[in-house]
Structure 1
Amino acid sequence: MLIQVNNDESIQNIIDSIQHHQVVIYLKNGIYREKILIDKPNITLVGEEKGKVILVWSDASGTLMREDSAKTYGTSGSATVTLTSNAKGFKAENIVFKNDFGYPKSFLKDKQAVALKNDADKSLFIGCEFLGYQDTLYANKGRQYYKDSYIEGNVDFIFGGAQAYFENCNIFSKKRDEGVGYVMAPSTLYNQEIGYIFNNCKFDSDGESNTIFIGRPWHPGKRAGYNPSAIVMNSYLGSHIKEEGWDSMSGFSPDDARFYEYNNYGEGSIVNIKRRVLLKEEMKNYSKEKLFENWNI
């Protein structure tokens, strides 16, 4: 079933009305300002032109809830678009996911502002953009594939426990006014062999040299059961990347996480004792085919 939508219509209303098992929603160019919850399987969003279909909202973690002003939304609740675990098989092409919360000028304590929270297994994104500052893309659960896409932020802007593969993506770290930055914060479960994989990506920035870590290990609530996993391979690393590569988080050392690199290049690709490099024969354990077994993408 194909549904065509203009930006004067509510995407949420359309999703709520869907009763078919396979639906493609074709979005005309424009700005769609609303929070969207997708909790149905096999929905596809297709934008008319790349970069010109924008799904945007402006909540942050510390924003007071409109439903109950005694509470705040929290990180998960700040998301512009949320895909629940029921949204298995979700696909997006030429869609911009944006959280335009005013991070640089805000006095809020909790400024995390998610553009997309994704719990959907077998979710696929091609030619998409994910725009924000802190906690832009919450790649949290299931198997996820991001291809030919652009992801930006300044602190932990790719984070969560999903098994996610990023291919041919531009990973852009926005300059911070103070302090260092972090690209990712995986929270992979200890019994998952693979967490995040970045292959043939470009890690770029408008920040100063040696100011941004590739990532740090997130253990939500400092609870047991996590062993964060990430590998960056065949990718360009700009001069903004810190020489140490990886940093600690909440007392958890990157040395105890599964953080690896392979065959990278650029000024930020430095080999030292803090940055573990895999051998060629080990790379078979980190293939797209292995991660997406039984998923024909």
Structure 2
Amino acid sequence: MELFPPLFLLNSLLIFFTPSSAFRVFRISDYSENVINAGSKVAQTITVDKSGHEAFKTIQAAIDSIPSENTQWVLVQINPGIYIEKVSIPVDKPFVFLKGIGGRTQTTVTFDGHDQTDTSSTFSSFADNVVVQGITFKNSFNLAAALNFEDEITNGVNVVKPALAARIYGDKSAFFESGFVGLQDTLFDVQGRHYFKTCYIEGAIDFIFGSGQSFYEDTLINVTVEALPSPIRVGFITAQGRSSSNDPSGFVFKGGLVFGSGQVQLGRAYGPYSRVIFYGTNLGAVVAPQGWDAWRQKGHEGNIMYAEVNCKGQGSDTTKRVAWEKKMSTSDLNKYYSKSSFVDQDLWISKLPETM
């Protein structure tokens, strides 16, 4: 798993290189700290229809039409269909609301980029204050290659490659009733505070990864390890990259369901202080008894924060979990890892535009 994006990250700075080898620097929050409070009202609505019945046939063209340093919510309403394109919201276009009409089963954005996390993602969001509802982002590369996995393995070729469906950089980004479909590295939850509500995430290897400070509520997690070549027996849901004890990042899963095929571990530690918590989640039989893997942090398991609280289901038996899994009381969970305490301290979620 390669974690270098198409720009360098340094102390919350985004450094973009141009074709002339010059570069431009943006601070992640520059376009949200100094703009007028957009409130929760949508100031403008534009519509995308792939048949050409509206002003825009592609989602990217609609985003490109939004002025830089936008200060009011713009609703991009996307009519049902399969949009074969890469979509990117640049850092200087905050307050964008992408809404798929008919829900995530009716509106899909798909592409087959692969090999690197800095070039493969179907959807990339760099701006703060972004909302997405009712859209599925899919990377079709590994899924299309699945039919040839056994032939490729026989010939000594590693056909499974990083192939991102989405990567999220901006602070205060929220996803409602949306889908993320891939096999390896499906969702790159890079950095910033993110909220996922009633979403669907599919994959097999490190398919939720990064250093975001994110709260996943009532999420369906579909494990597809049996789609991998036969030598690969166990997958990993998370690869969280928290770098220090002061790093606020982590993944918290409240409620939801883990199901699917094969065997999967809840997470492996990409960062030295990796932090992932499942609570009140229905863990299906697909969850392997060990539960977690120290991976790159073997010998430093004491710094890793992995916990399960009040989970249920066939995969929730913790008697055979790794000995270093943390124990957490319900009171500590509510104090430090509730939605309000972990990602919504300034009540930004309640200020989002209406998503229904």
Instruction: Give the TM-score band, short-chain normalised.
Output: 0.7 to 0.9
Aligned to 1:67: none
Structure 2 length as normaliser, TM-score? 0.73
Aligned to 1:52: 106
Aligned to 2:338: 287
- Seq. identity, %: 30
Q: 1:212 aligns with which of 264, 267, 277?
A: 264
2: CA distance between counterparts of 1:150 and 1:53?
Answer: 14
Task: Give the drift of 1:296.
Answer: 2.8
Q: 1:138 aligns with which of 163, 184, 188?
A: 188
Q: CA RMSD in A?
A: 1.7
| 1:139-171 CA-partner distances (Å, limit 9, x unpaired) | 011000000110010000000000010001101
Aligned residues of 1:103 and 1:111 also touching (Cα < 8 A): no
Q: 2:306 aligns with which of 234, 256, 259?
A: 259
Aligned to 2:258: 203
Structure 1 length as normaliser, TM-score? 0.88
Aligned to 1:71: none
Aligned to 1:296: 348
2: CA distance between counterparts of 1:274 and 1:244?
Answer: 11
Q: 1:182 aligns with which of 227, 236, 248?
A: 236
Q: 1:18 aligns with which of 40, 62, 66?
A: 66
Task: Give the drift of 1:295.
Answer: 3.2
Task: Give the drift of 1:250.
Answer: 2.9
Aligned to 2:275: 229
Aligned residues of 1:140 and 1:160 also touching (Cα < 8 A): yes
1: CA distance between counterparts of 2:118 and 2:282?
Answer: 31
2: CA distance between counterparts of 1:274 and 1:245?
Answer: 11
Task: Give the drift of 1:216.
Answer: 0.4
Q: Does 1:248 align with 2:303?
A: no
Task: Give the drift of 1:274.
Answer: 4.7
Q: Higher mean Cα deviation, 169-178 or 234-243?
A: 169-178
SS of residue paired to 2:64: helix
Q: 1:79 aligns with which of 121, 127, 135?
A: 121
Task: Give the drift of 1:26.
Answer: 0.3
2: CA distance between counterparts of 1:256 and 1:134?
Answer: 26
Q: Following superposition of structure 1 onto structure 2, how do residues 1-16 of structure 1 map, counting pairs within 5 Å?
A: 1-8=44-51, 9-16=57-64
**Amino acid aligned to 1:98:** K
| 1:242-264 CA-partner distances (Å, limit 9, x unpaired) | 11110122354655311111000
Cα 1:152–1:255 shift into 2, 3 Å? farther
Aligned to 1:70: none
**Amino acid aligned to 1:285:** Y
1: CA distance between counterparts of 2:176 and 2:80?
Answer: 17
Number of corresponding residues: 274
Task: Give the drift of 1:205.
Answer: 1.1
Aligned residues of 2:199 and 2:219 also touching (Cα < 8 A): yes
Q: 2:81 aligns with which of 23, 26, 30?
A: 30
Unaligned runs of 5+ in 2: 1-43, 52-56, 350-356
Cα 1:125–1:145 shift into 2, 3 Å? same
Task: Give the drift of 1:275.
Answer: 3.5
Cα 1:214–1:277 shift into 2, 3 Å? same
2: CA distance between counterparts of 1:266 and 1:217?
Answer: 24
**Amino acid aligned to 2:270:** W
Q: Higher mean Cα deviation, 130-139 or 248-257?
A: 248-257
